[in-house]
């Protein structure tokens, strides 16, 4: 069944183009998709069809119909992956910055899943369906670093249980704005969907989930701090939201950071450096660590000069 949504426009969004507003506030659609919905008369303003360049007015009521998604044909693709460990049960992949983990609207191929299907010849867990085979947990497109992939449902279930029990080790490094005064600390603040900007997450009490991030300072520079973060929970955008919440957003973050973005970073300066887990078959604790990628090192070198 098509998904029908209704929104009321607040004064802050007066005169914003409707396609831009939709792309920023409706989860999982791009501006191109928003324009297509307008072209197909699936967006009504106060009950009337409008053009994609319509400028919103305070008090406008939007009725948006999201049609049923087309079944994606996820095909294997010969895309290079940096695999740091592999056995018959799982892989540990060092994901590059800019690579999308699984297909979604606007990213139907060229993803890590396409590459995994080619490498593993279809031998991946099926718990998350055809779009996310093998994917136990995700990291954002512009976050680099280590990610675990399950080759069968038994491994997937065991690894997911460790994540839910908070026994799965995930350590990140990040460059954040400002001088983080405490050498170490914990952010314990629930995270949920932003009530206005539906593509964003935020610290909020209502309709949220517990989120805990432990951080410590590695080094301080002029205007920035190099930190290490250990996730106790794994909510969407958790480190990015929590660091922005305490006044130190991640450098390069164009969603939660300042409007003047460091464009040379091409996204947030955030790297999943360490991953650790109990192997689902052997029962052995395994831990892997990756080097900081070139973009991160280059930014560090710039700050050291």
**Distances, alpha carbon 161 to alpha carbons 28, 135, 166, in Å:** 27, 14, 9
For residue 30, what are its two tokens? Answer: 């791009």
Q: In whole angstroms, what is the distance from residue 296 CA to residue 52 CA?
A: 39
C-alpha Rg value of the chain to the nearest Å: 21
- Whether 140 is catalytic is yes
DSSP state of 239: H
End-to-end CA distance of the chain: 57
Token reading at 148: 């675990």
Helix (H, G, I), strand (E, B) or coil at 71: coil
Tokens of 84: 């740091």
Segments of 162-207 assigned E as strands: 169-177, 184-188, 191-193, 201-203
The whole-angstrom separation of Cα 92 and Cα 230 is 18
Residues 6+ away with beta carbon under 8 Å from 225? 175, 176, 178, 179, 180, 217, 219, 248
> Which of 60, 140, 153, 254 does the annotation list as catalytic?
140
List the catalytic residues.
Answer: 140
């Amino acid at each position: 069944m098509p998904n029908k949504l209704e929104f009321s426009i607040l004064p802050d969004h007066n005169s914003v183009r409707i396609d831009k507003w939709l792309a920023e506030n409706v989860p999982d659609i791009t501006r191109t998709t928003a324009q297509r919905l307008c072209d197909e008369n699936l967006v009504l303003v106060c009950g009337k069809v409008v053009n994609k360049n319509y400028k919103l007015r305070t008090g406008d009521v939007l009725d948006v119909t999201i049609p049923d998604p087309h079944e994606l044909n996820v095909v294997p693709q010969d895309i290079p992956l940096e695999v740091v460990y592999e056995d018959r049960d799982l892989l540990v992949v060092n994901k590059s910055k800019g690579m999308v983990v699984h297909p979604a609207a606007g990213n139907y191929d060229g993803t890590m899943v396409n590459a995994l299907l080619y490498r593993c010849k279809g031998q991946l867990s099926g718990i998350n369906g055809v779009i996310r085979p093998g994917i136990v947990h995700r990291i954002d497109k512009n976050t680099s670093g280590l990610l675990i992939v399950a080759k069968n449902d038994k491994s997937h279930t065991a690894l997911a249980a460790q994540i839910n029990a908070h026994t799965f080790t995930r350590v990140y490094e990040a460059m954040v704005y400002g001088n983080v005064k405490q050498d170490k600390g914990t952010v314990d603040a629930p995270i949920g969907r932003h009530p206005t900007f539906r593509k964003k997450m935020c610290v909020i009490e209502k309709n949220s989930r517990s989120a805990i991030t432990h951080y410590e300072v590695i080094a301080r520079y002029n205007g920035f701090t190099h930190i290490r973060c250990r996730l106790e929970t794994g909510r969407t955008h958790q480190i990015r939201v929590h660091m922005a919440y305490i006044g130190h957003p991640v450098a390069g973050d164009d969603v939660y950071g300042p409007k003047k973005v460091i464009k040379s970073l091409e996204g947030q300066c955030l790297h999943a450096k360490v991953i650790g887990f109990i192997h689902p078959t052997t029962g052995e604790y395994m831990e892997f660590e990756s080097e900081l990628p070139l973009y991160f090192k280059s930014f560090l070198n710039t700050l050291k000069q």
